[in-house]
Structure 1
Amino acid sequence: MELWLNDLMQWLALPQYGLSTVFVIAFISATLLPMGSEPAVFGLVKLNPELFWPAILVATAGNTLGGMVSWWMGWGTHQAVNKWRDSSTHIRALAWLEKLGPKACLLSWLPGVGDPLCAVAGWLKMPLWPCTLYMAIGKFFRYLLMTGGLVWLFPTH
């Protein structure tokens, strides 16, 4: 599988696939697959500074749709995790998430916990559209700050 994924990523790295590559990588990285999309966004913007805003928006859209897939995966696996329902960690985490509601999805930008958080929001059957809105807001600001910061740190000639 790694060879197939590596070949796909090399194919997507071709310059003529810039924004579509960013979309696919952002989408995949928002699912439970371990992958970062920020280097792809930064690379595209570094090579094509005029694509700063389109890259931010395309990455946000791809990452948000990937977050929605994670939400649906969580929603669909609600019954599968019933055996862990009584653990104290689970109970505390659920109480915290239920208290915050869909606003917890603002944290979907966090590395390591953000993508599973989207799945948990689905598992808790939080409303999809408010969760999607908060995911999009969090992810937009992550891409804006990360890419803007990298462009500022490493300016083009």
Structure 2
Amino acid sequence: MILNLRVLSPNRVIWDSEVKEIILSTNSGQIGILPNHASLVAAVDIGVMKIRLNGKWSTMALMGGFAKIDNDGITILVNNGERDVDIKPKEAQETFERAKADLARAEGRRQTIEADLALKRARTRLEAINASPPVSN
């Protein structure tokens, strides 16, 4: 059995194909989704989504949004997202270092919140390219 996964951002389709399984970061923790999953709507956190297809795992950095699971179909609407193969490691590391420095320099509540979110997004991109895939059967 398979799942139909669509990941959409405001300006593009990030993923649109059949998959065997996904592991999704939601605001209440990670959930695994297999065929015949119960219908569900969930808030998607800034985090890494793992996708199993053809016995192999790939990852995607998601920057928050919503997921709807219904009838073996998953539609995820995100603010932004990147597949692991599209993330340049050097650029991701530089962005992470810059975000850490910005957080250290942040003054006031608003700057601190914005810098913390930027750091979380940068960390997620690094995790997506460095994630060790789960063991598959």
- In the superposition, the TM-score normalised over structure 2's length comes to 0.27
- RCO higher in 1 or 2 (8 Å CA, sep ≥ 6)? 1
Q: Which structure is larger by alpha-carbon Rg, 1 or 2?
A: 1
Q: Which has the higher helix share?
A: 1
TM-score, length basis structure 1: 0.25
